[in-house]
Chains A and B, each alone.
Chain A
Amino acid sequence: MIKKFQNLNITWGTALRYIAGLIVAVYLLWRILQTTSIQGSYGPDTWMRFLITGLVIGGIYSLIAIGYTLVYGILFMINFAHGEVMMLGTFAGYFVLEAFAAISAPGSGDQSLSLLNAYPFPALVITFFVGASVSALIGYLLEKIAYRPLRGAQRLIPLISAIGASIFLQNAAQLLFGPQRRQYTNPDLLWRGTGWMIPVGEKSVMLTYTGTFSFILSILLMAGLLILVKKTRLGKSMRAVAENKQAAALMGIDVDAVISKTFIISGFLAGAAGVMWGIHNGLFNHYVGFIPGIKAFTAAVLGGVGNIPGAMVGGMLLGLLESLGPAILGIDFQLKDVIAFTILILVLIFRPSGLLGETLKEDKV
């Protein structure tokens, strides 16, 4: 009997892992059956609302997760300060919108009509562009100052440097702009809490304008990124560097420049996500990047870190799990962060390569 086990090559660790996994799976199934079988606990309209929330947040997570994945794919390091890069984008977008709201539109004769409400779409485009560009710049500087001198160092060292950079950026934002919560000024067209009413069953669900806008924009940005990576010369060189740095350098690719550009692209996406976060949720302060940052990392791991479509799918999935999870499992909504972190732990224990990822060697895990 013992010999048979030895032949199967099952160690205590693996056995324990799978037993624990089985218990968790059985418990979750039981919980889901229990909550869904109770009739009338949630109507279809509530489920619809959860679904919409999940998709919108999922889009934001996806954009940030792509940043983690791009950097991990090339440098094999977790850019711990990525959430802070997003936070600075949120701040930049806020200041641009405030400026637009403060200037009254020329030529209209109406003093109370601000530039923001007179030309909402150009204003929004500029806001997104500035927010994303600020984050891109921060990402570039971050790489140049905190990571580039550490190329070739032991693996923990860039990570500690990244943690340091994260603490620094968070506190710098607090000291610069103050610790209070601020509120985004949206154009009237895109006011929070307004939207289309969709009838679901007997009731109706609001599809907010901000949510729709964020979702569509995140899909567009992701499509743009995919085109960039698959079709352009830069994308080709990025893939080459991710595949093998030395071979890429031998083929005449400037590896350092490609790494810089990767940080710029991931910063740009994170900044756009930051502005979206502000427009959709309204309130923010200097902690705004921390939780989305970790969640987006979870999303990247969930989809398979280093894998761009994986990050997109992982982000959406995490957003959905987070908004539907508490309802499905019948637990408190306070615990939605616990769900995200538990998913992270479970994925890393049972499938470290993620849902779409290739199997990594133990070293990479």
Chain B
Amino acid sequence: MITAIKDGLRAGLITAIIFTFLILIGFTSVAANIIGDILGNPQVLNNETRLPVGNLLIFIALVGLFTGLVTLKKGSNPPWTDVLFRGLTGGILAGLIVGTVIYIVGSFHMEGVDFRAYLPNLGASQLGYLLFYSTPIAASKTYLLYFTVFSLVGALARKTLTMLTGLRNKLKSIKSQIIDWSDKKNFHSLVGNQLFQAGLIILVGIGLYFLPLVWGSYWNYIMGTVAIYILLGLGLNIIVGFSGQLVLGYVAFFATGAYTFALLTAPEPHAVGLNLWVAVGLSTLVSILTGLLLGLPILRLRGDYLAIVTLGFGEIVRILIRSDLLTPLTNGPKGVTNVGQPIWRGHVFSDVNYMHLLMLLVLAGLFIAKRLKDSRTGRAWIAIREDQTVAQATGVDTYKYKILALLLGAAFAGLSGALFASRNQFTGPEDFALMVSVNVLCIVIIGGMGSLPGIILGAFVLKGLPELLRELADYRLLAFGALLVVMMIVRPEGLWPGQNSKKGKMATFSNSLGEDNLEEKV
């Protein structure tokens, strides 16, 4: 009983804090709007200044349900009375805290206090909505009621669900005894059939060819961005995912590629006017050289030091590009405009052509990355990633392979930089902030370090989804940050882990922290 109440109170406290935080960052009304969109409720009622209260109530109910769900621990199966207590205590505590906050803020609001100077999300319209356009005391009572009721419902639902899964598992085991495996084998042989594979590839190819023609330019733009980030992700994956070197200044190579291409093709500030395809090759080459310049001295460093040094390098490149010192060369903070456009058979590339080019390059990149991974080099990288000392002892030239990984990664970045500059017809120093490196790193890690399908998935999740969910754009980075932390705790191998990283492997390997620390320190 005591543990039940304790668990309930903890869950209630956590949800109350989260919910208050969501109110303060203005997420509650955004969520309510999204719920309204999904349910097809009108955004504005008869009175034009008021938002529909029902959507907000649904959101509160969902948070209440969540409270109830988390009052039960994973894998536990407490008795019904216990569940009742957990749901009730959690809901009441959460409701009391949130209700008190709403009551205090609402009372101040009624007296005419303006919070907006310090907390911009507590404007008059927002607060009115949070108070359901009624008095603070009535609103806080509603919060308490909703949290309590739905927390109880959530706890009971979780309990029911655990019972159901228990039943389902039993059913499954019976089923597996009965069903013959021949169906599955047939399916496997079909997938393994080369003819079938070839047919599938041709079908997908035809689909990919026609999609950009059908989509329209808006989708071509978004998917082009996703494709560029897939290329970047493939490159960084070679460095971080395969060889295990954490590089946080990947944007430096992206920037060198973009700027080399822009400066070689744009009329301003140099008017070199080089052939575009030569320029693409050159920008890749310059990025590789930058990688060599950076890699030769610093790749002896390990782990976190490497991360910070490369981060510093990325910032140096950006600061130098925009500094007065290099303005004659790079056009400074203004950036380079009218970057060259590729020409094919006398026509300037349209967005469809770009999309086709990007798709081809992504496929080529995937092919290269796949072949590299399965090669002797790839095995050497993975050996370095798993344990550098052991790799060295087994005869892997770690320094050489780490530099090779960095150069290949830099090549990918240089190529995508050139494409990026050409497609946007512009490149400026602010395109290359630290956030680009972090985004690409997120793609690699969230997809699954070292996993190629994971990168495609990661790029779609991180670059495609925010474009679709425009309302949530402000909360994108906040969610990334939280996602990175949660992923590292819950699923460090990523959403779609590669074959080489079995589940839990990342967590069991320890070379600096915790238990295995003894010998290393002495």
A338's partner among B121, B320, B481, B522 (CB-CB below 8 A) is B320
- Does A365 make an interface contact (CB < 8 A)? yes
Write out, one digit per residue, whether chain B residues 413-453 have a CB within 8 A of any chain A CB (1) or not (0).
Answer: 00000000000000000000000001001000100000000
Nearest CB to that of B484 among chain A residues?
A164
Query: Does A165 lie within 8 Å of B485, measured CB to CB?
Result: yes
For B299, give the chain A residue with the smallest CB separation: A13
Partner of A244, one of B445, B509, B510, B522: B522
Check if A177 sits within 8 Å of B120, measured CB to CB: yes
Which residues of the other chain, A, contact B517 by a CB distance below 8 angstroms? Answer: 244-246
What string of 1s and 0s marks CB contacts (under 8 Å) between A90-133 and chain B?
Answer: 00000100100000000000000000000000000000000000
Is A159 engaged at the interface, CB distance under 8 Å to the other chain? yes
Asked if A77 meets B304 with Cβ closer than 8 Å, knowing A165-B485, A176-B25, A335-B319, the reply is yes
B396-417 interface (Cβ within 8 A of A): 399
> Is B475 in the interface zone, CB < 8 Å from A?
yes
Interchain nearest-CB distance for A342 vs B (Å): 7
Determine the main DSSP class of A at the interface with B: helix
> Is A334 part of the contact surface with B, judged by Cβ < 8 Å?
yes
- Would you give the shortest CB distance from B337 to chain A, in whole angstroms? 22
Task: Please measure, in the bound complex, the distance between the C-alpha atom of A170 and the C-alpha atom of B308, giving whole angstroms.
Answer: 18
Interface: B513 (CB within 8 A): yes
Q: Name the one of A178, A294, A363 contacting B120, with C-beta atoms under 8 angstroms.
A: A178
**1/0 per position for B470-511, CB-CB distance to A under 8 A?**
000011011011111101110010000000000000110111
CB of B26 within 8 Å of the partner chain? yes
A78 pairs with B308, CB closer than 8 A = yes
Does A154 lie within 8 Å of B506, measured CB to CB? yes
By a CB distance below 8 angstroms, the chain A residues around B482 are 164, 168
Q: How many A-B residue contacts, CB cutoff 8 Å?
A: 200
Does B312 lie within 8 Å of A156, measured CB to CB?
no
Neighbouring A residues of B324 by C-beta, 8 Å: 332, 334
Residues of chain A within 8 A of B298, CB atoms compared: 345, 348-349
Contact between A98 and B118, CB atoms less than 8 A apart: yes
Most buried by B among A75, A154, A161, A246: A154
Query: What's the Cα separation between A242 and B499 when bound, in Å?
Result: 37
Q: Which residue of A lies closest to B322 (CB)?
A: A334
Are B307 and A159 closer than 8 Å at their CB atoms? yes
The interface residues of chain A lying within 8 Å CB-to-CB of B118 are: 95, 98, 177
Indicate whether A10 reaches chain B with its CB closer than 8 angstroms: no
Q: Is the CB of A16 within 8 A of B489?
A: no
Residues of A within 8 A of B25 (CB): 172, 175-176
Is A254's CB within 8 Å of the partner chain B? no
Q: How far is the CA of A363 from the CA of B398 in the complex (A)?
A: 14
Given A167-B477, A331-B325, A363-B512: A176 and B315 interface contact (C-beta under 8 Å): no
Q: For window 102-129 of chain B, which residues contact chain A by CB distance below 8 Å?
A: 118-121
Given A177-B118, A294-B311: A164 in contact with B480 (beta carbons within 8 A): yes
- Expressed in whole angstroms, the Cα–Cα distance for A306 and B442 within the complex equals 29
Query: Pick the contact of A149 from B297, B320, B489 — CB < 8 Å?
Result: B489
Interface membership of chain B positions 313-346, coded 1 if the CB is closer than 8 angstroms to chain A and 0 otherwise: 1011001100111000000000000000000000
Pick from B320, B389, B481: contact of A166, CB below 8 A.
B481
Interface pair B513/A76, CB less than 8 Å apart: yes
Q: Does B296 contact A (CB under 8 A)?
A: yes
**Chain B contacts for A17, CB-based, 8 A:** 297
Is B300 part of the contact surface with A, judged by Cβ < 8 Å?
yes
A28 within 8 A of B: no
Contact A171 B24 (CB under 8 A): no
Q: Is the CB of B478 within 8 A of A175?
A: yes
The answer to whether B488 touches A161, judged by C-beta atoms less than 8 angstroms apart, is yes
Within 162-202 of A, Cβ neighbours of B (below 8 Å) are at: 163-172, 175-178
Bound CA–CA A354/B399 (angstroms)? 23
Is B305 among interface residues, defined by CB-CB distance under 8 A?
A: yes
Whether A168 touches B485, Cβ cut-off 8 Å, given contacts A13-B300, A152-B510, A345-B298, is yes
CB pair A345–B305 under 8 Å, yes or no, is no
Inter-chain contacts of A176 with B (CB < 8 A): 24-25, 119, 121
Given contacts A78-B304, A175-B474, A363-B302, contact A335 B309 (CB under 8 A): no
B73 close to chain A: CB less than 8 A: no
B514 at the A interface (CB under 8 A): yes
The answer, yes or no, to whether B520 is at the interface (CB within 8 Å) is yes
- Write the B5-33 contact mask toward A (1 if CB under 8 angstroms, else 0): 00000000000000001001110000000
Measured CA separation A235–B512 after assembly (Å): 23
Q: How far is the CA of A160 from the CA of B442 in the complex (A)?
A: 9
B513 touches A20 (CB 8 A): no
Instruction: Contacts A172-B25, A178-B120 given; indicate if A341 touches B489 (C-beta within 8 A).
Output: no
- Given A153-B510, A161-B488, A164-B488, are A172 and B478 neighbors across the interface (CB < 8 Å)? yes
Q: Which of B297, B305, B510, B511 contacts A365 (CB 8 A)?
A: B305
| Consensus secondary structure, chain B interface | helix
Contact B119 A155 (CB under 8 A): no
The A11-33 residues at the B interface (CB cut-off 8 A) are: 13, 16-17, 20
Q: A294-B308, A334-B324, A349-B298 are in contact. Are A163 and B506 (CB under 8 A)?
A: no
What residues of B have a CB within 8 angstroms of the CB of A244 in the complex? 517-518, 521-522
Q: Which residues of A contact B119 (CB under 8 A)?
A: 176-177
What's the minimum C-beta distance from A160 to chain B, rounded to whole angstroms?
A: 5
Closest chain B CB from A63 CB (angstroms): 19
Q: How far is the CA of A169 from the CA of B510 in the complex (A)?
A: 27
Q: Which of A177, A332, A344, A349 contacts B297 (CB 8 A)?
A: A349
Q: Is B303 an interface residue (CB 8 A)?
A: yes
The verdict on A294 contacting B481 (CB below 8 Å), with A161-B489, A246-B517 known, is no
CB of B246 closer than 8 Å to a CB of A: yes
Contact A334 B323 (CB under 8 A): yes
Q: Are A155 and B485 in contact (CB under 8 A)?
A: no
For chain A, residues 345 to 365, give those with C-beta under 8 angstroms from any C-beta of chain B.
Answer: 345, 348-349, 352, 361-365
Q: Answer whether residue B244 sits at the interface, using C-beta atoms and an 8 A cutoff.
A: yes
Collect the chain A residues with CB atoms within 8 Å of residue B296's CB: 13, 16
**B511 contact from A13, A155, A175, Cβ within 8 A:** A155
From residue A327, how far is it (CB to closest CB) to chain B in Å?
A: 15
Q: How long is the Cα–Cα vector from A166 to B485 in the complex, in angstroms?
A: 10
Q: Does B515 lie at the interface of the complex (its beta carbon under 8 Å from any beta carbon of A)?
A: yes
Is A77 touching B513 in the complex (CB atoms < 8 A)?
A: yes
The answer to the question of A284 belonging to the interface, with a C-beta cut-off of 8 Å to chain B, is: no
A215 within 8 Å of B (CB atoms)? no
B301 within 8 A of A: yes
- Smallest CB gap from B437: residue in A: A163
**Contact A152 B514, beta carbon cutoff 8 Å:** yes
Chain B residues contacting A149 (CB-CB under 8 Å) are 489
Q: Which of B120, B445, B481, B522 contacts A171 (CB 8 A)?
A: B481
Would you call A341 and B315 a contact (CB within 8 A)? Answer: yes
Contact A153 B312 (CB under 8 A): no
**Neighbouring B residues of A344 by C-beta, 8 Å:** 308-309, 312
Smallest CB–CB gap between B485 and chain A, Å? 4
Contact A168/B481 with A20-B297, A176-B24, A361-B520 known, Cβ cut-off 8 Å: yes
In the assembled complex, A151 has its CB within 8 A of some CB on chain B: yes
B303, B399, B518 — which one has the most chain A CB atoms within 10 A of its CB? B303
CB neighbours of A153 from chain B (8 A): 488, 492, 506-507, 509-510, 513-514
Measured CB to CB, the nearest residue on chain A to B511 is: A155
Q: Which of B21-47 contact A (CB under 8 A)?
A: 21, 24-26
User: What are the 6 closest A-B residue pairs judged by CB atoms, nearest first?
Assistant: A164-B484, A168-B481, A152-B514, A167-B481, A341-B312, A175-B25
Known contacts A362-B300, A365-B305; can you find 5 more A-B pairs with CB under 8 A? A13-B300, A149-B489, A177-B119, A294-B311, A294-B315
6 contacts between A and B (CB under 8 A): A20-B297, A159-B246, A160-B246, A166-B481, A177-B119, A245-B514
